[in-house]
Amino acid sequence: MIEARLEAAFLKALEKHASIRKLVKNKVEMILENPVSMGESLKGNWQGFYSCHVKRNFIIIYLFCEICRKKGDDAVILCSDCGTTPDQTVKFVLPGPHDQAYGAH
């Protein structure tokens, strides 16, 4: 079973977007069922992360620890808890409007 970790920034941003909290929750559940096929692999400053649309202009940015390590992206992302986080973990980093979410990193 895949574990979900909601980062502090994810929870804080979700408070600002309370009107779509239920949509985000449903999408999180879908991502946990199949994190690789649900998301789009990102590049550049977001190397190692995935994004998934909640609605047309609203996305969730996340990473799947197993794939991050397999691709060697853990050497770029450098999560402080990487050594103690199981492979079967999805870290939800940020929800938000498309342009704002990508600009936050």
Cα 48 from Cα 9, distance rounded (Å): 18
- Give every strand in the sheet of 58-64, ordered side by side: 3-6, 89-97, 58-64, 50-55, 40-41
Give the pLDDT of the chain (105 residues) as one tens digit per residue. 899 999 999 999 999 988 999 999 999 999 999 999 999 999 988 999 999 999 989 999 999 999 999 999 999 999 999 999 999 999 999 998 887 777 765
Q: Would you state the pLDDT for residue 105?
A: 55
The two structure tokens encoding residue 63: 């990473």
Q: Would you state the pLDDT for residue 81?
A: 94
The two structure tokens encoding residue 48: 């190692």
Q: Would you state the pLDDT for residue 104?
A: 61
Cα 50 from Cα 34, distance rounded (Å): 12
